[in-house]
């Protein structure tokens, strides 16, 4: 299947200039084993391989040489974009790659995109700090949105304008 969300990644990859062996590219079906492995390592309730396959045309990967270090799933409808998933290999976490990766994809979004949305667990403080640094603000809260252990956890809905 061809990549339905085509982004110009040249500016996104310029953000990685200090990391010569890293680059961002569209994902393809051959990437699924590495994407799935990262999803299993980073999510308490990981997506199934079928779910990952179904959104492969909306997925971008951060590579170090030929190894995938992270992935992002972005959906675009009309003039809005939504982050569906972001995950960085635990071995590559804490080095700023999540921030550079997301920042690069935000810059690569088509100019018609006015708003970028995401949902995050209220307890995912590390991600919330990252999103605040990238200009996202809380616009709503969804009660009991995520499974959490034997209970449920709220989600923050965050957004940022893309034309800053």
Q: Which two tokens stand for residue 156?
A: 């923050």
Tokens 């976490």, located at residue: 93
Catalytic residue from among 39, 60, 131, 146: 131
Q: How far is CA 126 from the centre of its chain?
A: 14
Identify the three-state secondary structure at position 164: coil
DSSP 109: S
The answer to whether residue 146 is catalytic is no
Residues 6+ apart with CB under 8 A from 22: 16, 62, 63, 64, 69, 97
The answer to whether residue 114 is catalytic is no
Catalytic residue from among 119, 141, 145, 146: 119
Enumerate the active-site residues. 119, 131
């Amino acid at each position: 299947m061809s990549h339905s969300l085509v982004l110009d990644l040249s500016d996104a990859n310029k953000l990685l200039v200090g990391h010569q062996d890293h680059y961002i590219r569209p994902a393809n079906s051959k990437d699924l084993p590495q994407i799935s492995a990262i999803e299993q390592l980073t999510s308490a309730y990981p997506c199934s391989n079928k779910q990952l396959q179904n959104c492969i045309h909306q997925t971008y990967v951060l590579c170090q040489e030929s190894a995938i270090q992270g992935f992002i799933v972005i959906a675009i409808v009309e003039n809005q974009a939504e982050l569906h998933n972001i995950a960085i290999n635990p071995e590559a976490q804490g080095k700023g790659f999540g921030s550079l990766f997301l920042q690069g994809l935000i810059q690569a979004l088509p100019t018609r995109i006015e708003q970028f949305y995401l949902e995050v667990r209220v307890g995912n403080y590390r991600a919330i700090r990252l999103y605040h640094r990238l200009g996202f603000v809380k616009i709503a809260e969804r009660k009991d949105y995520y499974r959490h252990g034997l209970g449920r956890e709220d989600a923050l809905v965050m957004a940022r304008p893309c034309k800053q």
